[in-house]
Structures are given as structure tokens and as C-alpha cells.
Amino acid sequence: MLSDDYLREAEYRARRFSGAYFGTSGSLAADVIRLLNLIRHQKQELARMTTTLEQANQELRAAVEARLAQGCAADAACCEGPEPEETLEPDAPIPVDWILRGERELHDEEPRLTGDGILAAQADDDASPAEGLLHETIAAVRDRRPKYGGPKAHFGRTVGMINAAFADVLKRPLTPSDWALIMTLDKVSRFLGPTKTHDQIVDLAGYAACLAECEQA
């Protein structure tokens, strides 16, 4: 990095020839002065960007520390007593604490399952295939809820449009629970088709869970 003293000396030497604008020396001096001004401007921008980056790093560090403190408090509360009641509305998106999950996955000897780093269960080598499937289903449900909303809201929008389009055919309006059953039947139909995939079974379990949520009073 060129120091400010060096830049001043270089400009002083260049300006000694800047008066001869029609000669080679004058042209070179003018070019040097322009380059020096450009270097000064770049140094100022670099200093500004460095300051901004340091401030952003400090804010991010503070946010991570606050998240970690909240996670430790939540873990302590879970160990001391029963799991607290869910405070979110049934159709409200479930927030995923990505920062805290990444921090724990970096430090834990065994990585957590895909999904919420706070609530997801620790991987169990002795888990049955059924339990493993349910873990995958939980991860899929948690991934899709922030994207589409809860099943009551998502399925409610879907059946609302279907009821409007087929009002003269339906004996009664479809409900979100009806749509959960329809999607379950669709996954069964796909599973009975020529190609069977593991994702079809996960989707079956997921729509069964959505049906249970839609049936909640």
C-alpha cells in the first residue's frame, strides 16, 4: 500500500513538469497526477468499505451471541421441566434458527437432523426405519411451512378456488381436511404407479400430519 507521504512526494515531482503540456514530460506528468488522484480515491473507498465491514461483523457477532444465549436458556428450560406449550398460531410460519443451528452443528460431535436446530432430536443409531421416516417427514414439514404457510391456510386457499370453480358440481364445499385426504390419495396413486420412490412415502406421512393439523379444533 502506497503511503500518503509517498503520494504527496510523487505529486510534487510530477507537477514540476505539468506546465509543459505539449511535450512528452508534460503529458507524462498529467497522467501521473490523474493516477495519483485515482489512487487516493481508491484508498478512501477502501477505508470506508473496511469500516462498514467491521461494523457489520460486530453487529453479526452480537446477533449470534444473543441467539446462542437464547438457545442456552431454551435448553435449560427444556431440561428443568416439561416442554413449553406452542405459542405460534396453527397456521403461522415456524421460524428456523439457521444461525444457531449452524453454530451447534459446527461444535457438536454428532450433527443434528435437518430441520430446526433447537427442536430437532439428536440422531439415534438405534432408531427404527419408521422413526427415521418420521424424522424426515418432520424436516420436510418444517421446510415447507415457511414457504407455503400452514396446511389450514394453504389448503384453505386451494379448496376456496376449487369450490368457486366447481360450485355447480360439488354437493358441498370442500374443506382443508378434504384436500389433505385428496393429496394423500394422490400420493397413494403415485406409489401404486410404475415408479416407487422414498419421497412418495415421506409425502404420505407429511399429508397425514397435515390432515391431523387441519382436524384440530
Share of the chain above pLDDT 90, in %: 30
Pick the most confident of 12-16, 101-105, 107-111, 209-213. Answer: 209-213
Please indicate, yes or no, whether the overall pTM of this predicted structure exceeds 0.85: no
Q: Are 126 and 187 in contact (CB under 8 A)?
A: no
**Range list of H helices, the chain:** 4-15, 24-80, 98-107, 129-148, 151-165, 176-191, 198-214
The helix/strand/coil state of 112 is strand
Higher pLDDT, 184 or 68: 184
CA dihedral 124, 130, 132, 137 (to 10 degrees): -140
- pLDDT band at 214; cut points 50, 70, 90: very high
Please, is 176 exposed, middle or buried when counting C-beta atoms within 10 Å of its C-beta (0-12, 13-18, 19+)?
Answer: buried
Instruction: Give 114: exposed, middle or buried? Use CB within 10 Å, 0-12, 13-18, 19+.
Output: middle
Taken in order 209, 202, 118, 62, the sign of the CA dihedral is negative
Domain boundaries, the chain: 4-80, 98-214
The letter for the amino acid at 201 is I
pLDDT of residue 163: 93
AA letter at 158: T
pLDDT (average), residues 179-187:
94
Average pLDDT, integer, range 87-96: 48
C-alpha cell, 124: 439415534
User: For residue range 120-175, what is the model confidence (pLDDT) as tens digits?
Assistant: 444 455 678 888 888 889 988 898 888 888 999 999 999 999 999 999 999 999 99
Q: 95 near 142, Cβ under 8 Å?
A: no
